[in-house]
A and B are shown apart, each in its own frame.
Chain A
């Protein structure tokens, strides 16, 4: 689960890392009121879960109330696309914060290094820009060091920030920030914490001017405050899926997908794309053989207006295909899909499952024996690519 900038900063503040003061606003009026309270210059910053906001016009400095109104009006409601094509993300909130007098811009992060199975600290004196580009162009400018699982103290942190070439008079404070970032990782179950830029002000204070924080969704049971944030999802289908306890990811095609198991589901999306189609979603039905689970899944998929045909790809292991077929028959009595459903059943008791479906003779239900044939069929029925 990713946090918005201001939520990450609140987490930083909780752990004693300096952040500029600010307020969150959902409307232009609230943004102007916040700006008036904070004073000028102030920054109006789009709160979306993606980098590259500045380039996209999502961060503006206001010198007076008129500019605050103008910027808030422009930013609220805009769509921001990420540097890797993520999104678009609609801006529903802005964060209004006091202007900072920036002397230096650095980069600091603590991330989970999956390959090495350790936390990795990274620091660079070249902050305020795309760190992947810095790492590509000038690898030595980015100092990377694993955090010793037995402890990470100020001395270890200081050697990292010193090697990164940060200003001498900022080293102690920057080291302290790095130690606290590692503390945030451990205590808040964060798998990624990035501060870009970490600034030194004209008064030589070290302040986190931005935040990017990812919290491990599996650990939310021990973080009540963060679990509440996780409950707010913008996308209507993703919200509906969450309420129904389904693992769903929305994509932008027209072929609805329902499969069992995360790997098979990803593979189904790929095969549909290879057949010339555009998947509308990822939905892992799990062991969902019960009619209720199938109805729930189909309702979520169907609520996406783009979807024009659905593929139900099941490989029955422990779950038996005859149970799944019965679930599909019952579900079809409870929900009117109004579009073609292609079903591919393979694995345990698939013959029996196919027989049940054939006997039920459901309108607009198409059976296919293999995953590839099913993919081709659903793409054809959906009317080709979206």
Chain B
């Protein structure tokens, strides 16, 4: 098994007719993901290399059977596109777009909750279930199928860790990029819950960074609700307070949101935290062997 996406995923890509959307949408298709539709208002009836394009996501659901929506729409229109996806009847919305105003996401977050739709992102690399489906921009070649579930705020850092796990001879049930924005649809806790229930996941690697308190909340949740071993990595020990480090959410506010506080919170709950991506992968591989 895997989480969020698999062989049953039927993907509709909003923005498939755009440059980035077509590049990544078609890469996902080439990986084996069942790409059933593109969505661009005003371009219904066209196709992108054989994939039909619809005017609305709802049509992609009724006409092409889409159950998963990927949002590749420019930032200022993206929140509206996510809202449309939430109302369309899909089960899962994966929003790749970076730069969406956070207060727009505030209302979109609650809309997704109310409708019971799983929202991943925005500002995320997407989800990969190795050997099954890839939705987003994660380069699949660094990840083999295996027993480690990965959940991360960062893209390249995850590829780095995934590649080291692969070289250590192991692989992944799924890789979930939850995104680097202050408000994301799914937090660490939401994904940890899915890995706990997934019979093919034996160990979880969690990659966090400065800003907010999602890691601290995850630490509490791991102690109370997660029976599987968790290994963590936190980026941003050298980040100065008050400076946004690339991701909109990666900022230490006053004395809160520091990497040290997150590491301390996780270690206090018995979670091992690697010093570097390399050490994190090594710890995970070693713990897996001893399971």
Q: Is the CB of A371 within 8 A of B278?
A: yes
- List of A residues within 8 angstroms of B246 by Cβ: 247, 261-263, 265-266, 282, 284
- List of B residues within 8 angstroms of A284 by Cβ: 246
B159 at interface (Cβ–Cβ under 8 A)? yes
Q: What is the CA–CA distance of A282 and B239 in the complex, to the nearest angstrom?
A: 9
Interface size of B in residues (CB-CB distance below 8 Å): 63
A159 at interface (Cβ–Cβ under 8 A)? no
Q: Which residue of A lies closest to B276 (CB)?
A: A271
- Cβ-neighbour of B102 out of A50, A191, A260, A346 (below 8 A): A191
Q: Which residue of A lies closest to B213 (CB)?
A: A115
B132 at interface (Cβ–Cβ under 8 A)? no
B92 at interface (Cβ–Cβ under 8 A)? no
Q: Is the CB of B106 within 8 A of A263?
A: no
Q: Is the CB of A262 within 8 A of B245?
A: yes
B196 at interface (Cβ–Cβ under 8 A)? no
**SS class of chain A's interface: helix, strand, loop or mixed?**
mixed
In the assembled complex, how far is the CB of residue B92 from the closest CB belonging to chain A, in whole angstroms?
A: 19
- Cβ-neighbour of A266 out of B103, B107, B245, B255 (below 8 A): B245
Query: What does the 1/0 interface line of A120-159 toward B look like (CB < 8 Å)?
Result: 0000000000001000000000000000010000000000
Given A262-B180, A267-B276, A318-B139, answer yes or no on A346-B163 (Cβ-Cβ < 8 Å): yes
- Cβ-neighbour of A115 out of B106, B212, B245 (below 8 A): B212
- List of B residues within 8 angstroms of A119 by Cβ: 106
Q: Is the CB of A267 within 8 A of B157?
A: yes
Q: Is the CB of A273 within 8 A of B237?
A: yes
Q: Is the CB of A264 within 8 A of B160?
A: yes
B85 at interface (Cβ–Cβ under 8 A)? no
A345 at interface (Cβ–Cβ under 8 A)? no
Q: What is the CA–CA distance of A74 and B90 in the complex, to the nearest angstrom?
A: 63
Q: What is the CA–CA distance of A293 and B134 in the complex, to the nearest angstrom?
A: 29
Q: Is the CB of A115 within 8 A of B152?
A: no
Q: What is the CA–CA distance of A191 and B100 in the complex, to the nearest angstrom?
A: 13
Q: Is the CB of A189 within 8 A of B209?
A: no
Given A86-B241, A263-B155, A264-B160, answer yes or no on A216-B106 (Cβ-Cβ < 8 Å): no
- List of B residues within 8 angstroms of A347 by Cβ: 139, 142, 159-160, 163
Q: List 26 A-B contacts (CB under 8 A).
A: A84-B241, A85-B241, A117-B110, A260-B156, A261-B157, A261-B246, A262-B209, A263-B153, A263-B155, A263-B207, A264-B154, A264-B160, A266-B235, A266-B238, A270-B236, A274-B275, A274-B276, A315-B156, A317-B137, A317-B139, A346-B163, A347-B160, A348-B139, A348-B141, A371-B160, A372-B276
* Residues on A facing B (Cβ under 8 Å): 2, 49-50, 82-86, 112, 114-115, 117-119, 132, 149, 185-186, 189, 191-192, 216-219, 221-222, 247, 249, 251, 259-267, 269-274, 279, 282, 284, 315, 317-318, 346-348, 370-372
* Residues on B facing A (Cβ under 8 Å): 75-76, 99-104, 106-107, 109-110, 137-139, 141-142, 152-160, 163, 180, 182-183, 207, 209-214, 217, 233, 235-250, 253-255, 259, 275-278
